[in-house]
A and B are shown apart, each in its own frame.
Chain A
Amino acid sequence: GENVEQHPSTLSVQEGDSAVIKCTYSDSASNYFPWYKQELGKGPQLIIDIRSNVGEKKDQRIAVTLNKTAKHFSLHITETQPEDSAVYFCAASKGSSGGSNYKLTFGKGTLLTVNP
């Protein structure tokens, strides 16, 4: 089955710096790659996603890149703010079929701390 590796497990940056989190996946059939942010006491919140027919996607300070050949995708956060502090999860999936959705396989998470 699919295996998703995520690095680093912890990341500490100064406010205003950039943060990069990297993930690799094993199943070449995976075609959907979301990123989730989880704050204490809350469920994961989708912050950005990318599909395999796109190499890069950006939403304000957040961007995701995908290298299908290397089976590698990354989350980039620019101009970090203290409120960006949370646990970030990458995930991979084979998408959907017949209305049903394939499962998400998650990385182990990255604890991002943005120091004021």
Chain B
Amino acid sequence: KAGVTQTPRYLIKTRGQQVTLSCSPISGHRSVSWYQQTPGQGLQFLFEYFSETQRNKGNFPGRFSGRQFSNSRSEMNVSTLELGDSALYLCASSLPGQGNGYTFGSGTRLTVV
């Protein structure tokens, strides 16, 4: 079956702009989480969505937001981009209540210049 699909794979944006990243989970997976990966901070949790509702949120500023659609697809948005937002953004999906057996996508590499 198809894995977790993230688009686009690469993105270059200018400081102050906003960006939207997309994630299509594995069919049947209704829980979608987002993580930021940087060399300095490693993998950090952004938020988790289940049944179109944000259930958990990490320690990121309000510039980071997301949503989930009825087909479980998810988007995350970063407004007023800063240089420090440059990172690999990873989406992961899992079956609900499966104790976090997450499958990750290949990520979107965001570069802010």
Contacts and interface: CB of A to CB of B under 8 A. Distances in A.
Interface of A: 31-32, 34, 36, 41-46, 49, 51, 89, 91, 93, 95-96, 98-109
B106 A103 contact: no
A94 B86 CA distance: 29
B33 A103 contact: yes
Interface of B: 4, 30-31, 33, 35, 42-45, 48, 50-51, 55-56, 58, 90, 92, 94, 96-107
A92 to B, nearest CB: 10
Nearest to B56: A103
Contacts of A103: 33, 45, 48, 56, 58
Contacts of A32: 99-100
A113 B7 CA distance: 30
Contact of B98 (A41, A43, A96): A96
Nearest to B4: A43
Nearest to A34: B100
A47 to B, nearest CB: 12
11 contacts: A34-B101, A41-B106, A44-B43, A93-B100, A96-B100, A101-B48, A101-B100, A101-B102, A102-B56, A107-B42, A109-B42
Nearest to B46: A103
Contacts of A43: 4, 90, 92, 104-107
A99 B101 contact: no
Given A32-B100, A46-B103, A49-B101, A100 B50 contact: yes
B88 to A, nearest CB: 8
Nearest to B59: A1
A62 to B, nearest CB: 16
B105 to A, nearest CB: 5
B99 A106 contact: no
Nearest to A94: B100
Given A44-B43, A108-B42, A100 B100 contact: no
Given A106-B42, A109-B42, A99 B97 contact: yes
